[in-house]
Structure 1
Amino acid sequence: MTREGHTITSPKERLTQGAALFILLVLGGLAIAGPSGLLAWGENLRVLDQRKAEIARLAHQRDELKLQVDLLDPNHADADLSGELIRKNLNVVHPDEVVLILKPER
Structure 2
Amino acid sequence: MLLVLGGLAIVGPSGLLAWGDNLRLLDQRRVQIAKLTHERNELQMQVDALNPKRADPDFVGELIRKDLNVVYPDEVVILLKPTESR
Q: TM-score range by the shorter chain?
A: 0.7 to 0.9
- Equivalent position of 2:61 in the other structure: 83
Q: What one-letter code is carried by the residue in structure 1 that aligns with 2:72?
A: H
Q: What one-letter code is carried by the residue in structure 2 that aligns with 1:47?
A: L
CA RMSD of aligned residues (A): 1.7
- List alignment gaps of at least 5 residues for structure 1: 1-21
Q: Percent identity?
A: 71
Match of 2:18 among 27, 40, 48: 40
Measured at CA, do residues 69 and 52 of structure 1 come closer, stay the same or move farther in structure 2, by a change above 3 Å?
Answer: same
Q: TM-score, normalized by length of structure 2?
A: 0.84
Q: TM-score, normalized by length of structure 1?
A: 0.69
Work out whether 1:30 is the aligned partner of 2:8: yes
How many matched pairs?
A: 82
- Residue deviations 1:49-106 (CA, integer Å, cap 9, x gap): 11111111111111111111000101111011111111111111122211224568xx
Higher Cα Rg, which structure: 1
- Residue deviations 1:12-64 (CA, integer Å, cap 9, x gap): xxxxxxxxxx2x22221211111111001111111111111111111111111
- List alignment gaps of at least 5 residues for structure 2: none
